Amino acid sequence: MKVDAIHNGIVIDHITAGLAFRLYNLLELDKLDCPVAIIKNVNSAKMGKKDIIKIDSEHPIDFNVVGYVDPNATINVIKDGVLKEKLTIDMPLKLKNVIKCKNPRCITSVEQEIEHVFLLTDKEEKVYRCLYCETKADN
């Protein structure tokens, strides 16, 4: 399999195998008008298997979304075909409008103008809870 190198863009690397499509959807990469490659189940010495997403554009990426889906992922910024920056991601303390509260009684289900805000309540277990009703988010 051959996937071309990108000239200017972003590579999201070291994604836990199987999480690339979730990240793709939450980042809304389907709306981009540029090449986006999802490479699944790549052999990795460190991880066994991993996923990779290549974005051939200098489109801004919401690091909070990446940290929420997989805090072990890395972001590689490519400029003129050269790796310019490698970023490690951590779990965000707060998520705004990334996921929605599933509680039908939550104020966010009734009031459309209210932002969907989740707070990290347990980093070890990767638990986020709704700011308004404390319902646990699905992982």
**Which of 48, 64, 37 is closest to 14 using CA atoms?**
48
28 lies in some domain: yes
- Same structural domain for residues 55 and 112? no
Tokens at 107, concatenated: 């104020």
Residues whose CB falls within 8 Å of the CB of residue 25, separated by 6 or more in sequence, listed in order: none
- 34-68 pLDDT, tens digit per residue, is 999 999 999 988 889 999 999 999 888 899 999 99
Give, in degrees to the nearest 5, the angle at Cα 62 between 60 and 64.
160
My answer on whether 66 and 110 are in the same domain is no
Work out the pLDDT band at 139, boundaries 50, 70, 90. confident
Looking at the structure, do residues 53 and 84 belong to the same domain, yes or no?
Answer: yes
Residue pLDDT, tens place only, 97-135: 999 999 999 999 988 889 999 999 999 999 999 999 999
15 lies in the same domain as 76: yes
pTM: 0.86
Domains: count for the chain: 2
Average pLDDT for 6-33: 94
Residue 8 to residue 57: CA distance in whole angstroms? 6
The domain spanning residue 24 has which CATH number?
3.30.70.140
Structure confidence by residue, pLDDT tens digits, 60-81: 889 999 999 999 999 999 999 8
Distance of CA 32 to the CA centre of its chain: 15
Range of the domain at 108: 94-130
Domain contains 139: no
Q: How far apart are CA 53 and CA 27, in angstroms?
A: 11
Asked whether residue 135 is domain-assigned, the answer is: no
pLDDT of residue 1: 57
Q: What is the pLDDT of residue 2?
A: 59
